[in-house]
Amino acid sequence: MLAPADNISVRFLKLLLPEQGYYIAAVKRPGGKGGFKPSIFAASVEELWSQIEEHDRNGWETYHACSSFKEALSDPPGATQKTTRTHTSHALGAKAFWIELDAGKDDKGKAKPYATQNEAAAALRRFLKATGLPVPVLVSSGYGLHVYWPLAEILDPATWKRYAEGLKALCEKQGLHADPARYR
């Protein structure tokens, strides 16, 4: 269950998301039955939070895109990961870098890169010490961690991707097991 709407959540989203564009919430039925609903677009961070909070209150898994988007376009029927409207080709820009550190076991009992959230946090501390990167904002993702580095200004998708690829390479070089899907 998410925290009450005491504006901490809105402040968090405003810290990470660009000031302009459309924002996306993705919601998934409890237990994963039926998959995700079509993307929910919001014209403001407050509206995005309202959608996330409402669906969470009704027991849905909730997520938000970390970029803002040029238009509020729904996915066409049969959209794939490369043609979905949340693909970077539709992004306006991003105002943070992010990684995900998975911990525990997946639905099939297969071990994730870190046994526990504490183990993932210790690996992140070693990574930060070795690289000199600033202390990020951390969010518990259940067993793992979502790690965010907010930026002072929005980056266009091409510039963001270039730096995100550098962050990915740095993670690999330092042995930090970040989920590769989170660099899109």
Same domain, 55 and 132: no
Same domain, 112 and 184: yes
Total domains in the chain come to 2
Final residue in a domain of this structure, among 86, 112, 140: 86
Determine contact, residues 53/64, Cβ cutoff 8 Å: no
Q: Which of 5, 101, 100, 102 minimizes the C-alpha distance to 52? A: 5
- Does this model's pTM top 0.75? My answer is yes
Section 8-18 average pLDDT: 95
Asked whether residue 50 carries a pLDDT value surpassing 90, the answer given is yes
How confident is the model at residue 6, as a pLDDT? 57
